[in-house]
Amino acid sequence: MAIDPHSLYQQALTTQGYVADPAQARAVEALQACFQAVEQGRASLGIYLWGPVGRGKTWLMDQFHRCLQVPSRRQHFHHFMAWVHQRLFQLNGTADPLLALARELAGQIRVLCFDELFVSDIGDAIILGRLFQVLFEQGVVIVATSNQPPEQLYRDGFNRERFLPAIAAIQRHMQVLLVAGEQDHRLHPGAARQRYWVAQAGQASPLDEVFRQLSPSDAGDDQPLALGARQVQVVRRSQQAIWCRFSDLCEQPLAAMEFMALCDRFPAILVSGVPALGGEQRAGRIARGTEDGAQRVVAGERELPALSPKDDAVRRFIALVDECYDRRVALYLEAQVPLDALYTQGYLAFPYQRTLSRLREMQLQRFA
């Protein structure tokens, strides 16, 4: 029996206890129209869902993707960009690698869905500046979620003008919808499954018992784990779970690819020793070339972001949470402070709001 986004949404309201939300209902209408168009082989605008965390954007997109009968792909945006970089490397020497990549993708799928469109890297910004244009020209329909409207993507980024064509393409080829209902749906009452603890001095770590429950027939070992060319120190690991210290996962030069490999291998990840992550921002600096470093000049100067010494570790922590959330890998944390006090100020306050919402949702039984 064929299903469509509208019927799935109504089913969630009537039989699964979901709360009606006018903003979600408007998004469902747009997704329904897009679904009908692509299933009937007609041209269609894509959909760009943006708004605060916890308003159901990812869930709505996933329901849409579940209904599709045409070839499609659903990926977290980080995964999509990792694939793009890999293919561009493989296409090195091709006259127009971005066009070749877009044609290849258009030959495989009709619809591309990706979650959490957030651009912070100049390399990604330059690639996307043209990639979105050629994907739309090749007839690929894109459905995406983001916490920002298109015009604010890569805001204040270096060489942002290289990304402006991507913004123009999104606004021309996608229906931009704000999903900003009054409720954070992740906070609705549910069966709690504790996955976050505050460490207590002089007491054994609760993760010790969690590890035993997750690995009842495997005592595990403490041998370092090889992730590509890197070695990650562990407290304990088994086939079912890995337990690491925050310093060994987030204060080491690991990248999103290593966190992807970690989630490929283990259905549960335990992290102890999570410190208070927030901190006051350091004063911004003036960036100059070496030739004018001796004196202040107008030409070529730009303000660099004010960063905290912990920001690199926080970025990795955000990437780890995103990966676990997207892959439905259970994440158990033991920290020095309560969850709501984990990151209260700093340069990464905006992207961390999504992380906090996801950590809260991970406490709910239905997330498992």
Q: Which residues pair with 245 in a beta bridge?
A: 272
Q: What pLDDT shows up at residue 367?
A: 53
> What pLDDT score was predicted for residue 280?
57
Model pLDDT, residue 368: 47
d(CA 317, CA 110): 34
pLDDT at residue number 218? 75
Residue 279 banded pLDDT, cuts 50, 70, 90: low
pLDDT tens for each residue of 103-142: 999 999 999 998 889 888 888 999 998 999 999 999 999 9
Interval 54-79: pLDDT, tens: 788 988 999 999 999 999 999 888 88
CB 314 within 8 A of CB 352: yes
Q: What is the pLDDT of residues 317-367, one digit of tens each?
A: 999 999 998 888 899 999 999 999 999 888 888 889 889 988 988 876 545
More confident residue, 300 or 347: 347
pLDDT digits (tens, 9 = 90+) for 209-228: 899 888 877 778 899 999 87
The residue written with tokens 């595990």 in the block is 220
The mean per-residue pLDDT over the stretch 189-214 comes to 81
The pLDDT of residue 308 is 55
**3-class SS at 228?**
coil
CA–CA distance, 39 with 236 (Å, rounded to integer): 49
- Over residues 187-201, the mean pLDDT reads 70
Query: What pLDDT, on the 0 to 100 scale, is given for residue 192?
Result: 45
Fold of 5-178: Rossmann fold (3.40.50)
Flag whether pLDDT at 166 surpasses 70.
yes
For residue 248, pLDDT over 90 is answered with: yes
Q: Provide CB contacts within 8 A for 325, sequence distance 6+.
A: 331, 358, 361, 362
The pLDDT tens digits for 1-50 are 568 999 999 988 888 767 888 999 999 999 999 999 999 999 899 999 99
Q: Would the pTM count as exceeding 0.95?
A: no
Question: What is the distance between the alpha carbons of residues 112 and 72, in angstroms, rounded to a whole number?
Answer: 6
- Kindly list the domain boundaries of the chain, sorted by start residue: 5-178, 189-285+300-367
Report the C-alpha gap between 102 and 83 in whole angstroms: 12
Predicted confidence at residue 164, as pLDDT, reads: 93
The pLDDT, as a whole number, for residue 301 is: 53
* Crossing angle for the helix pair 77-90 and 97-108, to the nearest 10 degrees: 120
